[in-house]
Copies of this chain bind each other. A is one copy, B any other.
């Protein structure tokens, strides 16, 4: 018989999302999260480096980015690879719209959490740029393609969560890419 209930980390994430939704982020103490998960505050900080991280800890985005970039055809231009990659990310999110919205609501209600989300997006951009360089794309082009690609992703994601009935996220990404091409061509 196991000494402890299994999946402590998952229980902490669950408890945190629930409590943040009920009382808000600031009004929820780490002690309260740990208690609901049947653990102690000290154990919370062994699983997450800080209180915010419990909302961001399990994002497998990085590996997905590397795979998408590697899967793009040899002939694709850097920007085409970028467009295809963020379209793939969108595809992955499309399925879990409900959970994404719930998490989004918590984050939207608190500036500290928005701060952390920006960091995660910046890491995604850095990972994308690195994957592009891996393909032989020069530094400047890789950095610009990655940053602008993530910019399109951010804007499309905003439309997706805000609009009452938007087309799917992948479709929003595609129109964002098109619109960006129009804008920069002027």
Chain A contact residues, CB within 8 Å of chain B? 77-80, 111, 114-116, 118-119, 122, 140-141, 143-145, 147-148, 150-152, 154-155, 158-159, 175-176, 179-181, 183-186
Write the chain B residue with the least CB distance to A181.
B184
Q: List 16 A-B contacts (CB under 8 A).
A: A78-B183, A118-B122, A141-B179, A141-B183, A143-B155, A143-B158, A144-B151, A144-B152, A144-B180, A147-B152, A147-B154, A148-B148, A148-B180, A148-B183, A148-B184, A184-B184
* Complex CA distance for A77 and B154, rounded to whole angstroms: 22
Dominant secondary structure of chain A at its interface with chain B: helix
Q: Please tell me if the beta carbons of B184 and A79 are within 8 angstroms of each other in the complex.
A: yes
Q: Please tell me if the beta carbons of A186 and B118 are within 8 angstroms of each other in the complex.
A: no
Q: List chain B residues, Cβ under 8 A from A159.
A: 140
Write the chain B residue with the least CB distance to A79.
B183
Q: List chain B residues, Cβ under 8 A from A150.
A: 151
Q: How far is the CB of A119 from chain B (nearest CB, A)?
A: 5
Q: How far is the CB of A138 from chain B (nearest CB, A)?
A: 9
* Complex CA distance for A155 and B151, rounded to whole angstroms: 13
Q: How far is the CB of A152 from chain B (nearest CB, A)?
A: 7
* Complex CA distance for A181 and B180, rounded to whole angstroms: 10
